[in-house]
Amino acid sequence: MPLNPGCNPAGRIALRSAAIVILAVICGLWVVPVLAQDDGGASEWYSQSSINEGLGPAPNLIDRDTPRTTVRGFLNAARENDFERAAHFLNLTEVPQEAQSRVGPLAARQLAEVIQRQVWIDWSDLSARPDAIQEVAASSDPLAGQPRRNIRIARLEANDTLYDIRIGRYRAGDDRPVWLFTPQTVRNIPPLYDTFGPRRYEAYIPQSLKREVSGLWLWEWIALPLIGALTLLLGWGTRSIVLRQSRRTKRGWLEAALERSGLPLAMLVMAGFVQILLHWVLTFSGPVNAILRPILTLLMVWGVGMAMLRVVDAVLKRVTLRFVGDIDDKRGADEREIYTSIYALRRLILLVMVGFAIVIVMNWLNLFDTVGMALLASAGVLTVIAGIAGQAVLGNIMASLQIAFAKPVRIGDSVLFEGDWAYVESIYYTFLRLRTWDHRRIVVPVTYFISKPFENWSVTEAKMMKVVKLTLDHRADVGTLREQFEKLIAEDEDIMDDDPAGAFAYATNHGPDGLEVSFYAMMPDPSTGWSAEARLREQFVSWIAAEHPEWWPRERVMDAEGDEDGGGGRKRGAASIG
């Protein structure tokens, strides 16, 4: 029998409880936004009892209402050498009140030196709103559309420690909230200044050259071309010395390594020279450093990687020539496999070095902090884009690795690919290079090569069977032809006659056109077999023409009386040679 909640006290209690819960949820959904909105003002700034009382009242002309006006006002005051005014843009809460008037201007000067030398400010990223709401932001950004009270301007690394330069929004009592460089930033100024402040030799630069022209100091416009010319001269000298040393060395692999490493080593020395110059002699402004330092990092990583790769190439080539030799099908399967494995090792080394280089560059440039989370957040979209854009390249790389491990074809193998007889000369990440018998080069994408059927004449061993086909007259004696064939292969050193089953002759076809006789011979390799096959054909033609010209195929016709011309006939021409 169904239960009636109206007659059941437990049912009435359950219905009341459910109604209360639903009502609470509805009220909560309405009340929470209201409470969050009412309480939002408290989260838009940091509350303090006072702000920089030791500096005295802030000048009326300074504008600290938004992040953009705070940073611009600070830098403008520093350019005018008015560091007392610039100090009012710092939050000196952690500095004793009686010391703020002395520490503030000094800290402002040092912070300005660091920012001018290390930070290239993108003004479009600094909000012009007092609440610093991101008006244009990715939908995945949790701060999109939310007011902010703390913004990072830059992150710098000094003595293996990361330091942030930040601005925050502060309010003292009922005063208007203002944006200031945070107390943490003020605390970070001494180590940052020791690392990125002016170098000792900058004191010798005349004050007249330190004025700003088109975004750079005047002395930078003079120093940059001079340093560039000196760096190029140093690179040219380094490359000349390396090439001269390569000609003097007596070791083949070292000569090849030095000769091919001249340019990477020159780039490495040039980048290292500029890095030393920036660390010990001069420090350029933020815009120059923002462009110069990533370029120097890339050049140093590229120089080290390419120099190491060239040395590895030279060593591998030396090992190849010593233990394997030249690329052809006369080498054994084991030697060709060693050659292919060496090329696979080179590709693996290159892949590892590129991976390490990318990690090092991203680490040095702090790209993990700036783009790392964005990449993770948009991994799905990036995966689709990379899959579409790099499908061909990634497919070729995977097919190349498949060849390296499975070895369906090896370097030095003789293959018949789409009608061309060629040797596999090189196997790279995305393509193969084939050398045809007439020394043409065919470049084939790896995926295309693997997806098409091909004949590998050297997959297990280089030797192969060659056949010479002759179409002769019906009266030709196969026994006599077989004896002449055995004589010819015995005299030819290139034909393998040690195997009784490796040379034989048979009449393989018979028809109105004549008798087809095929001569089979085992050859040590495809290239030798091609030459030996041509010689056998020439020798047979010459022998038949001299000894049995009547064996050439003839056309027989019926005369008007119906008698067949059994003895004569009209010659059809030369033998049909297969």
Provide, rounded to the nearest whole percent, the portion of the chain with pLDDT above 90: 18
- Over residues 217-237, the pLDDT tens digits come to 788 888 889 999 999 999 999
3-class DSSP assignment, residue 129: coil
pTM of whole model > 0.85?
Answer: no
Neighbours of 165 (CB within 10 A): 22
Could you tell me if 446 and 401 are in contact, meaning their C-beta atoms sit under 8 angstroms apart? no
Nearest to 167 by CA among 241, 115, 206, 204: 115
Phi, psi (degrees; rounded to nearest 5) at 467? -135, 135
Residue 12 has a pLDDT of 44
CA atoms of 494 and 463, how far apart (whole Å): 11
The partner residues of 213 in beta bridges, in order of sequence, read: 216
One digit per residue, the tens of pLDDT, for the chain of length 578 reads 343 334 444 444 444 444 444 444 344 433 333 333 333 344 788 998 889 999 988 888 889 999 999 999 999 999 888 999 999 999 999 999 999 999 999 999 999 999 988 888 888 888 889 988 876 554 445 556 688 899 999 888 888 888 999 999 999 988 899 999 999 999 999 999 998 888 777 777 787 787 777 777 788 888 889 999 999 999 999 999 988 888 888 777 777 778 888 888 898 899 889 988 887 887 787 778 778 878 888 888 888 888 887 787 777 777 666 655 555 555 555 666 666 676 677 667 777 777 777 777 666 655 555 444 444 444 455 555 555 555 666 666 677 667 766 778 887 788 888 888 888 887 777 788 888 878 889 998 888 888 888 888 777 676 778 888 988 888 888 888 888 888 888 888 777 666 666 788 888 888 888 889 998 888 877 778 888 888 889 998 999 889 988 888 887 776 656 555 444 444 444 444 34
Q: Which helix (H) or strand (E) holds 103?
A: helix 100-118
Residue 339 has a pLDDT of 67
CA atoms of 300 and 304, how far apart (whole Å): 6
Nearest to 541 by CA among 478, 466, 471, 465: 471
Token reading at 24: 């609470």
Residue 69 has a pLDDT of 94
HSE value, Cβ hemisphere, 13 Å, CA-based, for 86: 24
CA atoms of 44 and 146, how far apart (whole Å): 9
CA atoms of 481 and 477, how far apart (whole Å): 6
Neighbours of 366 (CB within 10 A): 15
CA atoms of 264 and 235, how far apart (whole Å): 10
Tell me which amino acid residue 7 is: C
Q: What does DSSP assign to residue 45? A: S
Q: In 3-state terms, the chain is what percent helix, strand and coil (to 5)?
A: 55, 15, 25
Name the CA radius of gyration of the chain, rounded.
42
Token reading at 258: 């030095």
Signed CA dihedral, 411, 415, 418, 421: sign only: positive
Q: Decide the pairing of beta strands 455-456 and 441-445.
A: unpaired
Which residue in this structure is represented by tokens 């800290």? 107
State the helix-helix crossing angle for 333-364 and 286-323, rounded to 10 degrees.
170
Counted residue by residue, the chain has a size of: 578
Signed CA dihedral, 400, 402, 405, 406: sign only: negative
Residue 43 has a pLDDT of 72
Interacting residues of 405 by C-beta distance below 8 A, sequence separation 6+: 344
Neighbours of 233 (CB within 10 A): 11
Could you tell me if 171 and 93 are in contact, meaning their C-beta atoms sit under 8 angstroms apart? no
Q: Which helix (H) or strand (E) holds 516?
A: strand 514-523
Interacting residues of 58 by C-beta distance below 8 A, sequence separation 6+: 52, 64, 88
Q: Which helix (H) or strand (E) holds 47?
A: strand 46-48
Q: What does DSSP assign to residue 406? A: H
